[in-house]
Structure 1
Amino acid sequence: MDRPGSGEGRPDSDGPATDVPDWEDEYLDRVSDRLMYNYDLEKDHRVDGESFDLFGTMHIETQKQFLHRSINFANHYMDEYLLARRTSRATLAEVERLVDLADTLSEEWIDGSEEHQGTEFTFVLVAPDITDDVRSFVNRFSRRKLLKYGYHGHYEVHLVVVAPDDEDVVASEHADVARAFTLWQDSSLEPTPGLLTRVLRRLSR
C-alpha cells in the first residue's frame, strides 16, 4: 500500500488547504474547520478494509542551512495521520483493532531511513457515549516504537474517543488533536495547537 499524501492542497503557513471537502455530518464539518489549517483533509477514506469519515495528513520537513538554502544538511521529516469516524458504539474490541491497524500501517507507510524522524497515527471514534472499559484503556494507553533502534526514527499511536452529545472526551497522552473535537469548549481559551507548536513538541520528545 502506498503512503498517502501527495502534497496537493497541503496546508501552508498562509492559510488552510486549498481544497477542503464538506461533510454532511455537521459535527465533523465543524471539526474540519479547526483542522484545515494544519491538515490535508479527505472524506470517506478506506484503509486496509477499515472506513473513516475523516482522514487527515500532515507532513513536516526540517533542515539546517549554511549560508544559502541550497546548502543544507540534517534534513528530517515527520508525518502525522488522523483517522476519524462515527460509530454506533465505541467498544474495547474496536479500539484494540485500530491499534493493530496502526502497527500494520507503520510497516506499509513508513519509509525506513535516517531522514525519517517520526510518524504519528491518531485514531478518533465519535460515539454516543464512552463506556468505562474504553475510558480506562484510552487513559492508560501509550504506544511509541523505535525503528532500527531509533536510527530510522519512531512511530507513535494516539487514541481519542469523543461523545459530543454528552460533551465528553477521553484521549491518550500527547493526543493534542482531541482539542479540535471538543466543540463545546471555548477555542479562544484552549486553542488547537498550531503547526509551529506541534513541531516544537515533537522535536522535544
Structure 2
Amino acid sequence: MKFTDYVELLVQRMEKYFDIEKNSVFFDRKYEIKAEFLKRETQTFIFKNNVMDFTESREICLVRKVQDINDIKCELEQVEHILKETVNPSRHHQSTIVTLVLVHDSVSKEMASLVKKFRFRKLYKMGFWGWSEGCAVLVDLNAGKVHSSVYAREKRKFFSPDMRLK
C-alpha cells in the first residue's frame, strides 16, 4: 500500500469522529493528518439548560511518515512536549490523549521495539484534575503490520492498513 492511499483510508475512518486537518503544522512540525476530538460531558439539574458542572475530554491524533529510527525518537520525545503544552489541568479537565501514528515502508525490529517501549501517562492532582496519556503507533505499509505502545494496543485495528476494516 502507498502512503497516500493509507492517508486517505485513515481520513475515511476518522471523519466520523474527528475534526481533520490535512498537511497541518502542529508545534513546528508538519503532519499529514491532524485530527482532533473534543467531548464535553455536562451534569444538569432538572432542566438540560441548568448546567451545574462539566468535564472535557480531548484526543489529538497526528499522522506522519518517518524515514529512520532517529525520526521516530524525535517524534516520541515530541509527544511529551505536546502534552505539557496543550493540557490545562483543572477540575473540568477529564483527559487528554495524544496518539502519534508513524508510518514507514518497512519497519525494523529496533523501530518496533522503540515504539513498544514508549510510555507516557500523567495524573493531575491524584487524578481529580484529570490525566494525560501519550500513545504511539508504528505502521508497516509493506508488511501490513501495526506495532503499538502499551497504551495504544486497543487502537491497533483502527490504524491497520487493511482495506477490509473500513
Q: Rate the CA distance shift 1:106–1:183 in 2: closer, same or farther, 3 A.
A: closer
Instruction: Extract unaligned runs of 5+ from structure 2.
Output: none
Q: Which residue of 1 aligns with 2:133?
A: 156
Higher normalized contact order (CA 8 Å, seq sep 6+, divided by chain length): 2
For the 8 Å contact 2:119–2:151, the answer to whether it is kept is: no
Q: Distance in 2 between matches of 1:131 and 1:36?
A: 31
Query: 52-61 or 176-185, which moves further after superposition?
Result: 176-185
Coordinate RMSD, CA, aligned: 2.0
1:91-106 paired onto structure 2 within 5 Å: 91=69, 93-106=70-83
* TM-score, structure 1 normalization: 0.72
Instruction: Extract unaligned runs of 5+ from structure 1.
Output: 1-23, 192-205
- Runs of 4+ off more than 4 Å: none
Q: Would you tell me which structure has more strand in proportion to its own residues?
A: 2
Q: Percent identity?
A: 21
2:89 aligned to which of 107, 112, 115: 112
For the 8 Å contact 1:35–1:180, the answer to whether it is kept is: no
Kindly indicate whether residue 123 of structure 2 is the aligned counterpart of residue 178 of structure 1: no
* TM-score, structure 2 normalization: 0.87
Q: Distance in 1 between matches of 2:29 and 2:95?
A: 23
1:61 aligned to which of 24, 37, 40: 40
1:1-205 paired onto structure 2 within 5 Å: 25-89=4-68, 91=69, 93-175=70-152, 176-184=154-162, 186-187=164-165
